[in-house]
């Protein structure tokens, strides 16, 4: 089951649970700060010294060694630069972590998360892997979303503690790779949408249009066209039915040809849109030009070695 959001059920438990935070970069420090704000006894440790002062002043206990950091806490959170660093930190204290909950909030890939989960399972370590869908400045707020995968029982048991980090802490699946899939999928939407917007600004800017003048039209387009289409696209992909009499692949290919021609004439680079043209052309070549844009999912599921032409 996906999307189980748990809220605190016992404020006393949230106050009493001791937590260790390993890694005091921007995000790790923000996590420790949020725990302290909710009165969790918090132990902190960082591979490089000199980052603990502000947290200590708030009540954190700085451990002098990794073993000293892990020892007092039933919940150990690690947030470092990558999964290689995670392994370097947790492997020396693997036996100590047995019987505790290890929460990994490090960015990486689903394969990374699954490898650490297998390592943890071999040592009797409860494991949750999470994706923090927020910047450090909003950690600890009621609206902050953190996605988790792994031990459902551990998530339920420690929901009050996890909710201290983000009010919208959500359990997605026992597959620890799923939160990072969500994370990367949503980032992909962010990057491609931003790229499309930048191309649009470059295109209208070639005629001297100020970005502020174009903004209301971009906002309305997103609100009334793009966002409502998300639900329709999801339904089409789920059903595998791509018939349309509104906006076919062929119609969009013709519009894409115009966009690329106009961009080149205006001196605007077309690297961002050429791959989309390639996908549209492939779908037409396969005799599926009358289908909707959602049918491109079939090409994405079975990509050619090189999409760009």
The SS3 of residue 61 is: strand
User: What's 102's DSSP letter?
Assistant: E
- The parent domain of residue 73 ranges over 4-174
> Phi/psi at 9 (nearest 5 deg)?
-115, -15
CATH code, domain with 286: 1.10.1040.10
Q: Is the pLDDT of residue 48 over 60?
A: yes
* Residue 47 shares a structural domain with residue 122: yes
pLDDT of 141:
98
State in Å, rounded, how far the first CA of the chain is from the last one.
41
Residue 200 lies in a domain: no
Q: Which of 174, 192, 215 is the last residue of a domain?
A: 174
The tally of domains found in the chain comes to 2
Q: Which of 174, 198, 216 is the last residue of a domain?
A: 174
CATH code, domain with 63: 3.40.50.720
Residue 180 lies in a domain: no
* Residue 115 shares a structural domain with residue 241: no
Dihedral angle over CA of 299, 301, 305, 308, nearest 10 = 40
Chain segment 194-250, per-residue pLDDT in tens: 999 999 999 999 999 999 999 999 999 999 999 999 999 999 999 999 999 999 999
Closest CA to 59 of 78, 45, 41: 41
pTM given for the model: 0.89
For tokens 């605190």, name the residue. Answer: 8
CA distance to 18, 25, 42, 62, 249, per residue, from 59 (Å): 12, 18, 8, 9, 60
In angstroms, the CA 34 to CA 201 distance is 39
Residue 62 lies in a domain: yes
* Residue 76 shares a structural domain with residue 210: no
Residue 30 lies in a domain: yes
Q: What is the band of 16 on the pLDDT scale with cuts at 50, 70, 90?
A: confident
3-state secondary structure 183-229: HHHHHHHHHHHHHHHHHHHHHHHCCCCCHHHHHHHHHHHHHHHHHHH
* Residue 128 shares a structural domain with residue 16: yes
pLDDT of 73:
98
Phi-psi region of 141 (alpha: psi -120 to 50; beta: other; left: phi over 0): beta
Closest CA to 39 of 11, 70, 63, 67: 11
Chain segment 189-207, per-residue pLDDT in tens: 999 999 999 999 999 999 9
């Amino acid at each position: 089951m996906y999307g189980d959001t748990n809220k605190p059920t016992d404020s006393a438990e949230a106050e009493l649970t001791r937590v260790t935070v390993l890694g005091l970069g921007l995000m790790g420090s923000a996590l420790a700060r949020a725990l302290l704000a909710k009165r969790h006894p918090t132990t902190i440790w960082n591979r490089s010294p000199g980052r603990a002062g502000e947290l200590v002043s708030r009540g954190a206990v700085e451990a002098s060694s990794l073993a000293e950091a892990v020892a007092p806490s039933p919940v150990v959170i690690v947030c470092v630069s990558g999964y290689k660093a995670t392994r370097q930190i947790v492997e020396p204290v693997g036996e100590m972590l047995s019987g505790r909950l290890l929460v990994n909030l490090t960015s990486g890939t689903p394969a990374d998360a699954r490898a650490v989960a297998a390592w943890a399972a071999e040592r009797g370590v409860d494991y949750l892997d999470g994706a923090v869908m927020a910047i450090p400045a909003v950690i600890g707020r009621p609206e902050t979303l953190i996605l988790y995968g792994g031990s459902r029982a551990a998530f339920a048991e420690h929901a009050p503690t996890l909710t201290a980090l983000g009010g919208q802490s959500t359990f997605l699946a026992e597959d620890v790779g799923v939160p990072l899939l969500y994370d990367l999928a949503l980032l992909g939407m962010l990057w491609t949408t931003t790229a499309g917007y930048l191309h649009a600004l470059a295109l209208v800017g070639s005629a001297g249009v100020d970005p502020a003048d174009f903004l209301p039209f971009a906002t309305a387009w997103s609100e009334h066209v793009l966002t409502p289409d998300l639900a329709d696209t999801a339904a089409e992909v789920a059903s595998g039915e791509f018939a349309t009499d509104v906006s076919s692949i062929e119609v969009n290919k013709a519009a894409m040809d115009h966009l690329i021609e106009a961009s080149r004439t205006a001196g605007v680079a077309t690297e961002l849109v050429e791959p989309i043209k390639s996908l549209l052309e492939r779908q037409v070549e396969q005799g599926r030009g009358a289908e909707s844009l959602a049918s491109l999912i079939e090409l994405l599921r079975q990509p050619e070695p090189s999409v760009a032409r």
